[in-house]
A and B are shown apart, each in its own frame.
Chain A
Amino acid sequence: MRDPRREAIASFVPAAASSLLTVALSVSVLLSASAFRLSSPMIEGMPSISLSFYVDGTAAFFMLIIGLVSASVSIYSLGYAGSYSGKHSIKVLGSMLNLFVLSMVLVTATNNAFSFLLFWELMSLVSFILVVYEHEKEANLRSGITYLIMTHIGTALITAAFLVLYFQTGSLSFDSFRSAAGHLAPFTKDLVFVLALVGFGTKAGLVPMHIWLPRAHPSAPSNVSALMSGVMLKVGIYGLVRVTLDFVAPSTPADAWLGLLMVVAGSSSALVGVLYASVEHDIKRALAYHSVENIGIIVLGLGLSVVFMSFGLESLAALALLASMYHSLNHAVFKGLLFMGAGSVLMRTGTADMNQMGGLVKKMPWTSLFFLIGSIAIAGLPPLNGFISEWLTMQALLSSSQVPNVVLQLSIGFASIAFALTLGLASATFVKLFGISFLSRPRSKAAEDATEAPRSMLAGMTIAGSLCVVLGALPFVATSTIASAFGFDMGLVSTYAPFGPLTVGYAAGGLKSASSLSMPTVVLLVGSVGAALLGFVAVAGFGRKTTTRRYTTWEGGFGALDERTEYTATSLSQPIRTVFKSFFRPRTEVDRKYHSDSNKLTKRSVTVTTETREIFEDQLYSPATRAVVAVLDRVRRIQTGKINSYLLYVMIATILLLALVVFQP
């Protein structure tokens, strides 16, 4: 099979089919509300190490996310692989992508810490290979290494968390972890939780462990970015949910600080992510930073749920969990869609720099429509899906007044400030992302010559785009799924439902303080207002038929405008950069060249370079890296390269071991 087209079909059609099978499995588990169990025979003498799968509601819900997004990405990949034909091996891309999806499904399905780590590692390594797929670019290798190191720090911490649980229970099976949940000593519980939060948080991209995301996502092929951002981060969330709800199982007010830790981590991730996204001009890096933001919102909801759980506020805990899981599903769908859209643009223009794009709404009408849908959804604007989960998160934040602890109330209050700022900045950022890339006039030759993406790519985006619309207009589809997945009654959350099952409602203290939202009704109202307005305009035209003349944009009488007079991504975000300058620490260098040094009035050229600093890299990672390198430099001295000194080490080691055996207490 040398034909790249056939290679692509052979790789991605089975991937799509198996993704749909995953969806089928998870739907069957969710509908029957009974878990699916599959165990391999025990390995003789090693009872801990066996393959056992257990798909309960939680796993099935995350499998649903994996399946839905993977299916649309696989279809999209059919066309996208074409951009690599002749340059890179499509066989490698296809097989690795299949393996990647498989490993994620296995991670969610497994019921044993050992096999969990095994599949987790497989997922990390395969995604690393995919990140460095375009290996001829040195930048990609660098980001691959960052990713590899960060993901292994995470894996180490997860392993530590499981080992602590193993020492407590004597088994590696998740079943025994689950049954031990109530009896863990408080300190052990906290230790497991913190290890898991940092470990899984590294994979999910929580601040300050997020630094790999803005490097790895832009380096990877766009279909892989869509999978990594849409799905793999959710697998990190899955791990966090599994450990928090099943193994740690917060139940006493003493556990509330665990939730608070998540609230703090989540809200700061959301804010930091969106701030960096707002000044980014590389479309894929901006989307990667937005993943940090959305993971923050998800973890914020999860943390609120843990806080409410600790105080026994059952229905509020269900509400917050619903918000968090709804946002997981939404983020998977719209971030997958946005990365696919960015991939189409990348494929057709050859650049990810927004300052080189523009005018694509006319060249790529469908891609731009899907990107717009994704933008509205991620900005949390009605009537699409992002609004629903953000509405639920806001309701959970507003309910914080019921937590019987002032410190917690205030902290959650501050988290809502961060959340509010995040929402405001997110919609501003997506004005920039969509407006600069797709609207206005082309800023480069490549953008001018762009053509619409192939049909298979549009088909993949259609799936994700229509999911955005469906999950927005019919939220009860998702809420009932999540309720059955996490085993709570929707009646707990929807205590106030004046429009029947169409409403997502919540009444805290009786009907007097009810909040409810019925998206189908809202959509209907928007439609009827639109129709009424159309009718009004038709009637109120005062009998005068108006015409529309097309003309170029008014240029002030200076002659035709060209693309150099347009706003760019960098200039558009300049006010935001200035307002938040204490955070970005923008550095602007102006380099003036003169025709002659004696005359500073006539300049030959003026070059302005602006850059913003990454405080986490500057203040945290660079010093840490330098310290590690310094220590290793010291250690390296023992590596002399002389055989006799190595023999000396062997002898010292032997003597120490012997001493250990002899003096063993």
Chain B
Amino acid sequence: MTAQALEVVAIGALQLVAVFALAPLLTGIMRKVKARTQKRIGASVFQPYYDLSKLWRKDEVVSDYSSWIFRSTPWIVAVATITAALFIPVFVPLSPFSAAGDVLLVLGLLALARFFTMLAGIDAASAFGGIGTSREMMMSSLIEPGLFLTIFVVSLTFGGTNLTSLVSAAARTGIVIAPTMLFGLISFLIIIFAETGRLPFDNPATHLELTMVHEAMLLEYSGRSLALIEWSQSTKQLALLALLANLFLPLGMPASIDAGLLPLGVGALMTLAKVALLAMAVAYVETRVAKWRLFRVADLLTAAIASAMVGMIFFYL
């Protein structure tokens, strides 16, 4: 292996560690923004770290009815999410393994994580888990096509599905003010709200059976298993927001990894700032909308699919 290849792998590993380490902070920031807009003081932005370390040391309770699917799901979810994050260029315009796996693989790995989460919801034989899985089945069957079509639009615009080349192409062209990308952005924004389980789709802070979706599937988890799943959820959130920032708002991101340390550092900081701002915006929006009735959520997701479709039509015309 040449020195350059080693360097590339080192950057990738560093990036992954940064994503994994910063993900709970992002969740903390979002909670803080939400608290402040609701005129509360709110917990420290580092609270998610305290929660994780507390969960880490707690004993677990596992249902007698559940099987190995329930026990292994947190691991599968964590491994799939982290591997997916490995393929996404987050802070630098490079993911070292992007030749081995593209954006479709990322979508596939996230879908795999969701598949097992849904199974785990059924596994404990509780009706709560069933509610969560049932609703998630409906939503995911619309979220996945929406996400896929958004990627379709992006990759029609920039060419190919390789994430490194997509992000570099986006960085080279800057912000594209074209109907295709605008409709793609609308679709992606809606999908991100749905995919990270935010209002109006799902309330991450509720344990009320009327409104739970994602939480209902995780209701039986405790201790380390819960910590793994929560951490994966934060990682997924950070990775998706970074993907949005790098594809649609590539300000400050250098087009190539060879741009030199200073531009790369600036780019990384810019990405961090953009992601934080996006997260704040998401949290702010969350305080301004109410949870939608479940079957209206489908309309919103259909709107995302339709928007990506319009973007695609604009590309061809």
Binding site for B on A (CB under 8 A): 278, 359, 361-362, 372, 376, 379-382, 387, 391, 394-395, 397-398, 401, 406, 409-410, 413-414, 416-417, 420-421, 423-425, 427-428, 430-432, 434-436, 439-441, 498-499, 503, 505, 507-509, 511-518, 521-522, 525-526, 529-530, 533, 537, 540-542, 544, 546-555, 561, 563, 565-567, 571-576, 578-579
Report whether B130 and A567 are in contact in the complex, using a CB–CB cutoff of 8 Å: yes
Chain B positions within 8 Å of A547 at CB level: 59-60
Which of chain B's residues has its CB closest to A436's CB? B122
For the complex, what is the distance from the CA of A436 to the CA of B305, rounded to whole Å?
A: 29
Report whether A571 and B130 are in contact in the complex, using a CB–CB cutoff of 8 Å: yes
Chain B positions within 8 Å of A513 at CB level: 158-160, 162, 165
Chain A positions within 8 Å of B133 at CB level: 431, 435, 567, 572
Contact flag A549-B60 (CB < 8 Å), given A381-B108, A440-B123, A503-B99: yes
Q: Which of A507, A517, A530, A565 contacts B100 (CB 8 A)?
A: A517
Chain A positions within 8 Å of B121 at CB level: 435
Chain A positions within 8 Å of B138 at CB level: 428, 575-576, 578-579
Chain A positions within 8 Å of B65 at CB level: 359, 440-441, 552-553
B312 at the interface (CB under 8 A from A): yes
B281 at the interface (CB under 8 A from A): no
Contact flag A529-B127 (CB < 8 Å), given A362-B67, A431-B119, A540-B56: no
Which of chain A's residues has its CB closest to B117's CB? A431
Which of chain A's residues has its CB closest to B168's CB? A512
Chain A positions within 8 Å of B83 at CB level: 522, 525-526, 529
- Bin chain B's interface residue count: 35 or more
B143 at the interface (CB under 8 A from A): yes
For the complex, what is the distance from the CA of A556 to the CA of B295, rounded to whole Å?
A: 27
B298 at the interface (CB under 8 A from A): yes
Q: Which of A427, A509, A549 contacts B115 (CB 8 A)?
A: A427
Report whether A431 and B115 are in contact in the complex, using a CB–CB cutoff of 8 Å: yes
Which of chain A's residues has its CB closest to B219's CB? A554
Q: Which of B137, B143, B315 contacts A575 (CB 8 A)?
A: B137
Q: How far is the CB of B113 from chain A (nearest CB, A)?
A: 9
Q: How far is the CB of A280 from chain B (nearest CB, A)?
A: 14
Which of chain B's residues has its CB closest to A526's CB? B83
Which of chain A's residues has its CB closest to B52's CB? A540
Q: Which of A359, A522, A537, A553 contacts B126 (CB 8 A)?
A: A553
Report whether B141 and A425 are in contact in the complex, using a CB–CB cutoff of 8 Å: yes
For the complex, what is the distance from the CA of A241 to the CA of B309, rounded to whole Å?
A: 31
Report whether A417 and B305 are in contact in the complex, using a CB–CB cutoff of 8 Å: yes
Q: Which of B102, B112, B125 contacts A516 (CB 8 A)?
A: B102
Q: Which of B144, B146, B313 contacts A410 (CB 8 A)?
A: B313
Report whether A410 and B316 are in contact in the complex, using a CB–CB cutoff of 8 Å: yes
Chain B positions within 8 Å of A518 at CB level: 99-101
Which of chain B's residues has its CB closest to A413's CB? B312
B135 at the interface (CB under 8 A from A): yes
Q: How far is the CB of B1 from chain A (nearest CB, A)?
A: 13
Chain A positions within 8 Å of B181 at CB level: none
Give per-residue flags for B69-87: 1 if the beta carbon is below 8 A from chain A beta carbons, else 0.
Answer: 1000001001110110010
Report whether A427 and B145 are in contact in the complex, using a CB–CB cutoff of 8 Å: no
What are the 5 tightest A-B residue pairs by CB atom distance, in nearest-first order? A513-B159, A567-B130, A575-B138, A420-B145, A424-B144
By CB atoms of chain B within 10 A, which of A430, A441, A563 has the most? A441
Chain B positions within 8 Å of A522 at CB level: 83, 100-101, 105
Chain B positions within 8 Å of A416 at CB level: 149, 152
Q: Which of B63, B80, B298, B309 contacts A579 (CB 8 A)?
A: B298
Binding site for A on B (CB under 8 A): 53, 56-69, 75, 78-80, 82-83, 86, 97, 99-102, 104-105, 108-109, 111-112, 114-115, 118-119, 121-127, 129-131, 133-135, 137-138, 140-146, 148-149, 152, 155-156, 158-162, 165, 169, 219-220, 223-224, 228, 294-295, 298, 305, 309, 312-313, 315-317
Report whether A424 and B145 are in contact in the complex, using a CB–CB cutoff of 8 Å: yes
Report whether A549 and B82 are in contact in the complex, using a CB–CB cutoff of 8 Å: no
Chain A positions within 8 Å of B78 at CB level: 533
Report whether B119 and A507 are in contact in the complex, using a CB–CB cutoff of 8 Å: no
Report whether A424 and B79 are in contact in the complex, using a CB–CB cutoff of 8 Å: no
Q: How far is the CB of B135 from chain A (nearest CB, A)?
A: 6
For the complex, what is the distance from the CA of A552 to the CA of B62, rounded to whole Å?
A: 8
Known pairs A550-B64, A554-B219. 6 more at Cβ < 8 A?
Answer: A420-B145, A440-B125, A509-B159, A522-B100, A541-B56, A579-B142
Report whether B100 and A529 are in contact in the complex, using a CB–CB cutoff of 8 Å: no
Report whether A417 and B156 are in contact in the complex, using a CB–CB cutoff of 8 Å: no
Which of chain A's residues has its CB closest to B223's CB? A546
For the complex, what is the distance from the CA of A379 to the CA of B66, rounded to whole Å?
A: 23
Q: How far is the CB of B63 from chain A (nearest CB, A)?
A: 4
Complex A-B: 11 CB contacts under 8 Å: A380-B108, A401-B315, A416-B152, A421-B141, A512-B160, A521-B101, A547-B60, A550-B64, A551-B63, A554-B219, A572-B137
Q: How far is the CB of B45 from chain A (nearest CB, A)?
A: 21
Q: How far is the CB of A514 from chain B (nearest CB, A)?
A: 5
Q: Which of B60, B100, B152 contacts A398 (CB 8 A)?
A: B152
For the complex, what is the distance from the CA of A518 to the CA of B109, rounded to whole Å?
A: 14
Report whether A575 and B159 are in contact in the complex, using a CB–CB cutoff of 8 Å: no
For the complex, what is the distance from the CA of A440 to the CA of B126, rounded to whole Å?
A: 8
Q: Which of A394, A424, A425 contacts B104 (CB 8 A)?
A: A394
Report whether A508 and B160 are in contact in the complex, using a CB–CB cutoff of 8 Å: yes
Q: How far is the CB of B84 from chain A (nearest CB, A)?
A: 10
Report whether B61 and A551 are in contact in the complex, using a CB–CB cutoff of 8 Å: yes
Chain A positions within 8 Å of B309 at CB level: 413-414, 417
For the complex, what is the distance from the CA of A238 to the CA of B268, rounded to whole Å?
A: 53
Chain A positions within 8 Å of B59 at CB level: 546-549
Q: Which of B66, B115, B134, B148 contacts A573 (CB 8 A)?
A: B134
Q: How far is the CB of A445 from chain B (nearest CB, A)?
A: 17
For the complex, what is the distance from the CA of A394 to the CA of B86, rounded to whole Å?
A: 22
Report whether B61 and A382 are in contact in the complex, using a CB–CB cutoff of 8 Å: no
For the complex, what is the distance from the CA of A320 to the CA of B42, rounded to whole Å?
A: 54
For the complex, what is the distance from the CA of A550 to the CA of B146, rounded to whole Å?
A: 40
Q: How far is the CB of B226 from chain A (nearest CB, A)?
A: 12
For the complex, what is the distance from the CA of A224 to the CA of B295, rounded to whole Å?
A: 40
Chain A positions within 8 Å of B57 at CB level: 541-542, 544, 546
Chain A positions within 8 Å of B129 at CB level: 567
Report whether A420 and B149 are in contact in the complex, using a CB–CB cutoff of 8 Å: yes
Report whether A431 and B316 are in contact in the complex, using a CB–CB cutoff of 8 Å: no
Chain B positions within 8 Å of A579 at CB level: 138, 142, 295, 298
Chain B positions within 8 Å of A514 at CB level: 99, 160, 162, 165
Chain A positions within 8 Å of B317 at CB level: 406
By CB atoms of chain A within 10 A, which of B53, B69, B131, B223 has the most? B69
Chain A positions within 8 Å of B64 at CB level: 550-553
For the complex, what is the distance from the CA of A391 to the CA of B160, rounded to whole Å?
A: 12
Q: How far is the CB of B93 from chain A (nearest CB, A)?
A: 14
Contact flag A498-B224 (CB < 8 Å), given A529-B83, A551-B64: no
Q: How far is the CB of B257 from chain A (nearest CB, A)?
A: 15
Which of chain B's residues has its CB closest to A525's CB? B83
For the complex, what is the distance from the CA of A551 to the CA of B64, rounded to whole Å?
A: 5
For the complex, what is the distance from the CA of A573 to the CA of B122, rounded to whole Å?
A: 13
Contact flag A515-B161 (CB < 8 Å), given A423-B144, A522-B101, A541-B56: yes
For the complex, what is the distance from the CA of A395 to the CA of B156, rounded to whole Å?
A: 11
Q: How far is the CB of B260 from chain A (nearest CB, A)?
A: 22
For the complex, what is the distance from the CA of A518 to the CA of B105, rounded to whole Å?
A: 10
For the complex, what is the distance from the CA of A529 to the CA of B127, rounded to whole Å?
A: 33
Report whether B159 and A406 are in contact in the complex, using a CB–CB cutoff of 8 Å: no
Q: How far is the CB of A389 from chain B (nearest CB, A)?
A: 12
For the complex, what is the distance from the CA of A382 to the CA of B76, rounded to whole Å?
A: 12
Chain A positions within 8 Å of B62 at CB level: 548-551
For the complex, what is the distance from the CA of A409 to the CA of B102, rounded to whole Å?
A: 23
For the complex, what is the distance from the CA of A508 to the CA of B223, rounded to whole Å?
A: 48
Q: Which of A382, A420, A507 contacts B105 (CB 8 A)?
A: A382
Chain B positions within 8 Å of A423 at CB level: 144-145, 148
Which of chain B's residues has its CB closest to A515's CB? B161
For the complex, what is the distance from the CA of A555 to the CA of B145, rounded to whole Å?
A: 36
Report whether B156 and A499 are in contact in the complex, using a CB–CB cutoff of 8 Å: no
Q: How far is the CB of B285 from chain A (nearest CB, A)?
A: 24
